[in-house]
Structure 1
Amino acid sequence: MTKTTPVTPKQDRPPERKKRSLLGSGLIVSSMTFLSRILGLVRDIVIASLVGAGGAADAFFIAFKIPNFLRRLFAEGAFNQAFIPVLSEYAEKKTKAELRLLIDSVAGCLGLSLVTLTCLAMLAAPALVWVFAPGFASDPAKQAITADLLRLTFPYLLLISLTAFSGSILNTWGRFAIPAITPVLLNLSLIGCALFLTPLVSSAAEALAWGVLIAGMVQLAFQLPFLAQIGLFPIPRPKWKHEGVKRILKLMAPALFGVSISQINLLLDTLLASFLEDGSVGWLYYADRLVELPLGVFGIAIATIILPALSRQHASSDGDKFAQLLDWSLRMVLLIGLPATLALVILAKPLLITLFQYGAMTATDIVMSAQALQAYALGLLAFMLIKVLAPGYFARQNTRTPVKIGIKAMLANMIFNLILIVPLAHVGLALATAASAFLNAGWLALGLKKEGVLRWSPGWGRYSLQLATALTAMVLLLLWLTPQATTWLSESLTERVVRLAIIVIAGAGTYLSVLFLAGIRLKHFKHQE
């Protein structure tokens, strides 16, 4: 008699996952993220106008950076990279009941841990400010204000981590749009509180801190109905001995230093900048915000869609598809990262003048921020490469190798910081971060190559030549079209925006046109799982 494989009843199977091409998924995430980042720029324009880049701005930026840094390090870094591979494996191989138990157990353990951490952090706010910005100790009033603001902003970590947990589930089931649009709510909250709450509280900085807290609550509430829609609404039940929870915890410990190493380097920049002249933290903040635009819209978008896909292919033992997806990701990063890098370097001052030189933002702030932006921009490609190379390890539940690489990169960053901070001040900090990011990306790529996971597909030589030709044409056009900074300063807001839009559209149009003439087509980047 022929043996038959038992069929799992439909009601016992996990929910169906939406299937679409990776390019289609990437476009969804990129478009949603683009909307969020544009609103983020509006938010930063409002902040720059209200608080500029002085002592009050530094206090808010530190109070916001601490929970935001921990969010990226923990929720979107270690937890996300450890949770999605295990969740994908359960979705592929386990029943719906086993999957739900994993989600409920993780929700309970995560929630309990975060509540405890939040309570302790609020009690120890002054100590946290000293750790993250020791230079503030020389100004007791500034340190006290920062600690007060931190007590308002730190619960954001609890709320946004649970939001990231929800988003990981939605992304694994192909619902990319909801997690991608969620950050819009943070920007709307900050803009609304800055404009309408400021007159009701002691300062604009306090209004912004309330905006952070409100945003965390709204973002979490927004995602929960969509989890219920796919039948995976979590009921928190802390089960520390659950097999899946133990595996996630085991993977998380080293992952803390893996994919989030660039965030640790940025934090070191802030820490050292707190010892420099007033405004240094703000200059780095505004520069980082502009680098985050292409990084978030494209680099993080690609990383968001490939981690669940790589995890599924690893679970199904499909090594060839795994390698093809990594190769596709690298091509996409170069296609977008290289022109974005060159455009930010050339247009640093025009961008900052157009977006931020209003109200409390001075001409000196623009010059200093532009120098930091150019330095950070040099590392943009490396930041993007880290985002797509690290999942090549995490999807295979290998967190040790990225940790070793991350530690080496962090040590290199510290050395670069000490070498460059004296002659170049805040610009040296940004350059050190960029240089260490390239070391990090290079070591990640070499490791994947040695393990046989990263394999170069045919056509890389031709592709590199096509990119180089298009980039040369774009750079020449941008240099020709971009006037001196004095021209931008003499123009009105409308004139600045129109001129900048024309230059950006012309540069992007030239780049894409030359790529088309060189033989590159959209169909070349379609990749079906």
Structure 2
Amino acid sequence: MLSQLTGRLRFPSLMRRGLPIVMATLISRPLGYIRAAIQAWLFGATAAMDAFVLAFSVPSFLQVILLSGPLSGVLVPTFSAVRDDRKALSQLFSSLFTACLLASILLGLAAGLAAPTLIHLVGPGLAPDVRALAVFLFRLMLPMLALQALLSVCKGALNTLNSYGPPEYAQVAFNLIFIGAALLLTPYLGITSLALGASLGALAQVVLQFPYLRRHGVHYRPILHFKAHIKSILTLLQWAFLSTMVVTFGGQIDRALASLLFPGAISALFYAFLLFMLPASLVVIPLSTVLLTDLSAIYQNGDITHVQRRVASALRIMMLLTVPVAVIGAFLSEPLTRLVYEYGRFQTADTIRTAQALQVFLLGLPFYGGMHMLSRCFYAIHDTKTPATVGVVALIVNIASDVILMQIFSHQGIAMGRLAFWLVSSCTLYAIFQRRCRRFLTNNASNSSLTP
């Protein structure tokens, strides 16, 4: 019975091709938790750690909403059109890489000048000395703006060629460099060592992609020459930008509201989300990454019925894997948090607060997976407007839930607001996708009946 079920769900195909991502995650995620545990050991859930979390999140936020975020949903569909022509693929890759590099340098200069204002916006409740520290750390991590965007371009090209491992294994290098900087430099530089480790780790991630790109026949030249692709890229980017901004802006609002609670609230949510991302990275990310590549290729052939079947199969696999993990993980949230984090300056009270947020995040895992995979589905069929529109509605629900629930449940209420975002997004996207498929099948049947 189970073998028949997994056969219908295309379990071997999707998960086998996503196995490099799973393997990379099994290596990089434990290193990520060691990295987080070292942070907790060295700095605890303190005001200084709040400053670092905010300073680390702002460059990521800016590059995600302005650069890598919008591109991540459109790169594979765009590269898929020229995947069999290595010369054309190299030219398109080079042009996108150069454009991202130039754009991120300009963005970095502007962000450096506006750093005090940006930090005040994302952490309005920070004390003046903590805000000044966050501004300093933020400026040290500005290179991440360019480096993460460039990594996204490399990842898009490699994923189009069914090479999923290298971008994921690069995270191992990031974690190792970050950990090394924290252990070696903290006695001399304090929390500044974390900012230096983050920037150096991001640089290593990009450098490590080029041997794999060359192996697949993709070469970089500093050019800006898009030819006919610029129109399709700009069309897809119009709504992908808004969709990405909504998701990342929601996270920034959560942190800003958490800064109005107690010292360490931002850190508790941060540590909880890191733990939550382990099952998400092992199940949701591999499935959605492979699914995007598959659907982009299928859509190029105009087979919408096949798209529908593939999406339904992937969603069933995702639910089969995430629901048990969500339930079991929610029950074990406190011992898991204690095992990973409760060392050094990370006290029992920090464990309890982090576990409370983790419990809520884990219960939302199936909805996070549904949102993530269905968004990729719409991107693959060149529809970036639907996820953006749904995201705006879900963000309004998220903010309203945060404001109401944080009054009752403190930082756990903010985690509930994030769960509400995932729930609204996934259910709405699924309903729209099903309606669109029914409309397509109806129209197709009508056209067939009219054909002599």
Pick closer, same or farther for the CA change 1:424–1:183 going to 2, 3 Å.
same
Deviations 1:58-116 (A, max 9, x none): 01111111123344445553111112111102225xx4443333222212211111111
Deviates further, 411-420 or 250-259: 250-259
Structure 2 equivalent of residue 179 of structure 1: 167
Shift, 1:339, TM fit? 1.5
Contact in 2 for aligned 1:52/1:361 (Cα 8 Å): yes
Match of 2:417 in 1: 432
Distance 1:120 1:450, change over 3 A: same
Within 5 Å, which residues of 2 pair with 1:406-417? 406-417=391-402
Structure 2 residue aligned with 1:266: 251
> What corresponds to 1:134 in structure 2?
124
Whole-Å Cα distance in 1 between the matches of residues 166 and 371 of structure 2? 24
Partner of 1:339: 324
Q: Which residue of 1 aligns with 2:22?
A: 30
Per the alignment, residue 291 of structure 2 pairs with 306
Contact conserved, 1:39 with 1:184, CA < 8 A, in 2?
A: yes
- Which residue in 2 is equivalent to 1:125? 115
Q: What's the secondary structure of 2:345's corresponding residue?
A: coil
CA distance in 2, matches of 1:453, 1:218: 47
What is the CA distance between 1:387 and its match in structure 2?
1.3
- 2:430 pairs with 420, 428, 445, which one? 445
Structure 1, residues 475-519: CA drift from partner, whole Å, max 9, x if none? xxxxxxxxxxxxxxxxxxxxxxxxxxxxxxxxxxxxxxxxxxxxx
**Aligned match of 2:307:** 322
Contact preservation (8 Å) 1:379, 1:437: yes
Deviation at 1:259, TM superposition (A): 5.7
Partner of 2:198: 212
Give yes or no for contact 1:106–1:236 (8 Å, CA) kept in 2.
no
Cα distance between partner residues in 1 of 2:90 and 2:382:
21
- Deviation, structure 1 residue 206: 0.5
Q: Secondary structure at the match of 2:163?
A: coil
- The residue identity in structure 2 corresponding to 1:31 is M
The TM-score with structure 2 as length reference comes to 0.91
Aligned residue number for residue 370 of structure 2: 385
Match of 2:142 among 139, 154, 158: 154
For 1:291 and 1:257, the matched residues in 2 are separated by: 25
For the residue of structure 2 that corresponds to 1:134, the secondary structure is coil
Summarize deviations over 1:270-321 as a string: whole Å, max 9, x none.
Answer: 0111111101001101111111111112111111111111000000112232
CA distance 1:77–1:303, shift in 2 (3 Å): farther
Deviation at 1:360, TM superposition (A): 0.7
Q: Confirm or deny that 1:87 pairs with 2:79.
A: yes
Change (3 A) 1:54 1:216: same
Asked if the contact 1:102–1:245 (Cα under 8 Å) also holds between the matched residues in 2, the reply is no
Aligned residues: 430
Preserved contact between residue 88 and residue 311 of structure 1 (Cα < 8 Å) = yes
Shift of 1:370: 1.0
- 1:402 aligned partner: 387
Say whether 1:110 aligns with 2:100: yes
Query: What's 1:222 paired with?
Result: 208
Contact 1:262 1:437 in 2 (8 A): no
Query: 1:244 corresponds to which residue?
Result: 229
Maintained 8 Å contact 1:284/1:372 = yes
Contact 2:86 2:217 in 1 (8 A): no
**What is the CA–CA distance in structure 2 between the aligned matches of 1:73 and 1:326, rounded to whole Å?**
26
Contact map agreement 1:149 1:209 (CA 8 A) in 2 = yes
CA distance in 1: counterparts of 2:438 and 2:28, whole angstroms: 34
Alpha-carbon distance in 2 for matches of 1:261, 1:300: 19
Alpha-carbon contact 1:326-1:454 (below 8 Å) kept: no
The amino acid across from 1:144 in the alignment is A
Partner Cα separation in structure 2 for residue 341 and residue 454 of structure 1: 34
The equivalent of 2:44 in structure 1 is 52
Measure how far apart 1:438 and its partner are. Answer: 0.4
- Corresponding residue number in structure 1 for 2:180: 192
Contact map agreement 1:319 1:453 (CA 8 A) in 2: no
Taking the aligned partners of 1:339 and 1:21, their CA distance within structure 2 comes to 22
Alignment partner of 2:53: what SS?
helix
How big is the shift at 1:392?
Answer: 1.4
Is the counterpart of residue 62 in structure 1 residue 54 in structure 2?
Answer: yes
1:459 is matched with none
Counterpart secondary structure, 2:330: helix
| 1:100 aligns with one of 90, 104, 108 | 90
- Aligned equivalents of 2:439 and 2:70: distance in 1? 22
1:122-160 CA-to-partner distances (Å, cap 9, x unmatched) read 222111111221222xx1111110000001112112112
- What whole-Å deviation, never above 9, does each CA across 1:254-280 have from its counterpart, x for those lacking one? 113336744332221101111111010
- Give the corresponding residue for 1:488: none
Contact kept in structure 1, 2:170 and 2:204, CA below 8 Å: no
Superposition RMSD on alpha carbons, in Å? 1.9
User: 262, 279, 285: which is aligned to 2:270?
Assistant: 285
Hey, what's the Cα distance between the residues in 2 that align with 1:38 and 1:146?
27
SS class of match (2:382): coil
Residue 24 of structure 1 and its aligned partner are, at CA, apart by 1.1
Does the aligned pair in 2 maintain the 1:303–1:388 contact within 8 Å? yes
Which runs of 5 or more residues in structure 1 are unaligned? Answer: 1-19, 456-529
Q: Take 1:72 and 1:338, find their aligned partners in 2: how far apart are those partners? A: 29
SS of residue matched to 2:125: helix
C-alpha change, 1:256 and 1:410, in structure 2 (3 Å) is same
Bigger drift between 74-83 and 101-110 goes to 74-83
More helix by share: 2
Moved over 6 A (4+): none
Structure 1 70/329 Cα, relative in aligned 2: closer, same or farther at 3 Å? farther
> Does structure 1 conserve the Cα–Cα contact (< 8 Å) formed by 2:394 and 2:424?
yes
2: CA distance, partners of 1:396 / 1:104? 24
Larger Cα-atom Rg = 1
Aligned sequence identity (%): 30
Unaligned runs of 5+ in 2: 1-11, 441-452
Greater mean alpha carbon deviation, residues 66-75 or residues 148-157: 66-75
Q: How many angstroms apart in 2 are the aligned matches of 1:435 and 1:295?
A: 17
2:243 partner amino acid: G
Question: How big is the shift at 1:248?
Answer: 1.6
Instruction: Please show how residues 157-168 of structure 1 align to structure 2 within 5 Å.
Output: 157-168=145-156
Question: 1:377/1:23 Cα in 2 relative to 1: closer, same or farther (>3 Å)?
Answer: closer
Say whether 1:367 aligns with 2:358.
no
Task: Tell me the residue number matched to 1:12.
Answer: none
